[in-house]
A and B are shown apart, each in its own frame.
Chain A
Amino acid sequence: MARNFEEIAPGRWRLDKNADRAMQADAEVFASRQILQQALDDASIEQVVNVACLPGLVGSSLAMPDIHYGYGFCIGGVAAFPADGGIVLPGGVGYDINCGVRLLASSIPVEEFTAAAESVGYAILQRIPTGLTPRSNYRLNKKEFQRVLFGGAREIIRNFSGAVADLDGIESGGCLPFDSPGVISPKAYERGAPQVGSLGSGNHFIEVQAVEEIYDLPAARVFGLEKSRVAVMIHTGSRGFGHQIASDYIETFRKRNLAGLKLRDPQLVYASISSAEGRNYLQALNAASNFAWANRQLLQEDIAAIFERILRLGWGKLGLRLVYDQAHNIAKFEKHEVAGRTAELLVHRKGATRAFPPGHPDVPEKYREVGQPVLIPGSMGSCSYVLRGTAMGAELTFSSSAHGAGRRLSRHQAVKLAAQSDIRERLRKNGVLVFSLSSQGLKEEIPEAYKNIDDVVAVTVASGISEKVARLRPLLVIKG
C-alpha cells in the first residue's frame, strides 16, 4: 500500500493521521529515504500505522531507523500511553521481554587479546550454554529462582559474584518491582528455571570488540572507553521465561477482548493498565525483566572468569568494568514532557532503546553530564556503536533510539545467500573469529541479512535522537 510520508526534518518522516480513517495519531519514522523505502516494501510501515490506530496514544506512533517487520508492532516501534487511564500491550514489548545489550570496557590492549582470542572463544563456548534450549550451569532450586525474579541483577551480585557498583550501570538498577509470583504460570517457571545463565540462540551473541574509533573523547572518557582496548558486548534476554509470559498474557488479553474491539492485527491486543489483567502483566513483565538482568549479570561473571584464567593478566590489569546494560524490548513508566507539562507515561519499546539526555535524573550520576549510553550492535562481523542520549531525542521520541542494524532478509533468503560462501572463513579474513554450535544459525545471521549499521547510525545522528561516542570493531563472536 502506498503511504505518503513527508520528510519534516532530516531523517524524520511523518504520515498525517488523516491519511487513514482509523488513525488516532500520526505515524513517524526516523529513517533515510532508502530505509523508508525498505520499510514500505516489507510492510513494516503498515505496522506503524496499525499502532497509530490504538486508543489513547500520546504523541505519534514512532519507528526507529532500524525498522523492520515484526508481529503487531514493527521492530523499532515506540508507543506511549498515559499511565493513568491508558493501555498496555504485550505486542508492544515483544516475546523476549528485556532482550537487551550489556557492554563491558577493559584495560586489555587489543594485541594482547588477539593472541589468545581463539582460546577465549573455545572457553566461552564450553562454559556458557548456547543454542537450543540449553540447560544452565547454575542449578537453581525453586526458592533461588524466585529470588532471582524478585531481585534481578542484585540477587546475582549478592549471592554469586559481581560488584555492587555494577548496579549503577544497569537500566533501572537491574531490578524492577516484583512481588506477585502468582501472576506467572507454572509453564513459565518450568521453561525459565533451567535457563538462567544461558545465551540462547538466533541473534543472541557474545562479542569481544576493539574500541576502534572515538568520536566524542570527553564522553568516551566518562563511559570508560579507551581506543585500542578490548570491550565485550552481550546480547540476550529472558529466554523461554519471557516468551511464555508474553504468550500467556496475549492469550489472557485476547479472552478479555472477545467482547469485540476490532484490531487490525490480533497481536495488538491490549488491556487497561489499571485492570487486573494489565496490572498482572506488568508485574510478570517486571519478573521477566529481572530474569534477563540476572542472566546478563551471570554471563558477565562467566566471561570475566574466563578472561582472568586465559589472559593471565590479573584482575587489576584486566580492568573489566560495566559501561551500561540497556533493555530493548520493554514497557516502562517514565515522566516525559507532553504539551508543556510533565506526564507519566507507559512507554513501549519493541526493538528500541531508551536514550535519556544529559541531566536526566534516571541517568547514572557518573554519566549525568553526558547522557545515557546508547548501545547499537551491528550485524555479525560489522562494527557496533556507542552513542549517548540527547535533549532532541527527549523531545521527538520519548528518549528512544535504535537498537541494532535491523533485519532486511528472511532467514530463508539469508541461508540461500550464505550457501555461496564460507562465512567463517570470510569473517576470519576480516579479522573476526566466529564460534557457533549451529552452522544453520550462522547462515541465518550473515551480515547481508541486516541493514548497514553505518546507515542506521547515520540517520540516528542526523535526526538528532542520539550522538556518536565510539565505534567498536568485532574480534571474536560467539553466536547463540
Chain B
Amino acid sequence: MRKYETFSTSADMGIRFKGGDFRELYENALRGLNVLLFGANLRGTAGCAAVPFRFHGDGPENVLVNFLAAVLSQAYQQRKRVAAIRFGQAGRSFLDAKLLVIPCRRPPKIEIKSVTYHNLRLVEAGGLMRAAIVFDV
C-alpha cells in the first residue's frame, strides 16, 4: 500500500493510509483526504495562514475522525484547503498542531458530509500503523 490511497464502496468513499509514527499517520490521512476533495495535494505552503487545532481524545481513531472533520469544516464552511500540518505534539490520543490553510481556488470536487467510524481500527504491525476511514458522501 502507498502512503495513502483512496477507495470507494457501493456505499461511499474512503482513504487508506499509513505512517511510521503518529505525525506521519495524521499527515498521510490529510493527504489522502485532499486527493478526494481536490484531486491532488499542494506542493508548498506559500501564502498559507495558520489555524490552531488542538484535540485530546480517547485514541488515535478518535483523533483522526475529529482532525479530518476539522479539515472538512475548513473546506466547506471556511472555503479553505488545509495544505499541511505544522505539528506541535502528536500522539496516540492527542494532536496539537497548526493547520496551514489557504483559500480554495476551486470548490471541492465532492461533498463529503461526515467522517465515519465505520470499521475504523488502527492496526499496528511491523513498525507501521495503518488505518482506513470511510466518509459519508
Contact = CB atoms under 8 A, between A and B. Distances in A.
Contact of B77 (A42, A72, A190, A265): A190
B112 to A, nearest CB: 10
A75 B136 CA distance: 13
Interface string B70-95: 00010011000000000000000000
Interface string A183-211: 00001001100000000111000000000
Given A190-B77, A243-B136, A265-B118, A132 B108 contact: yes
**Residue from A96, A133, A187, A408 having most chain B Cβ neighbours under 10 A:** A133
A247 B69 contact: yes
A373 B43 CA distance: 54
16 contacts: A42-B10, A68-B11, A71-B12, A71-B134, A95-B114, A133-B77, A187-B73, A243-B136, A246-B114, A251-B65, A255-B58, A266-B61, A266-B119, A267-B117, A409-B10, A411-B13
Interface string A392-428: 0000000000000001111111000000000000000
B30 to A, nearest CB: 18
A368 interface: no
A258 interface: yes
* Range for the number of chain A residues in contact with chain B: 35 or more
Interface string B4-43: 0001111111000000000000000000000000000000
Nearest to A440: B109
B120 A132 contact: no
Contacts of A254: 58, 62, 117
Contacts of A255: 58
A359 interface: no
B115 interface: yes
A255 B57 CA distance: 9
Contacts of B111: 131-133, 200-202
A251 B12 CA distance: 20
Interface of A: 42, 68-72, 75, 95-96, 131-133, 187, 190-191, 200-202, 240, 243-244, 246-247, 250-251, 254-255, 258, 265-267, 269, 407-413, 440
Given A132-B107, A133-B77, A266-B118, 10 more contacts: A69-B11, A70-B11, A95-B113, A131-B111, A201-B111, A240-B76, A266-B61, A410-B9, A411-B8, A412-B8
B67 to A, nearest CB: 13
Contacts of A267: 116-119
Contacts of B8: 410-413
Contacts of A68: 10-11
Contact of B9 (A69, A200, A244, A440): A69
A200 B65 CA distance: 23
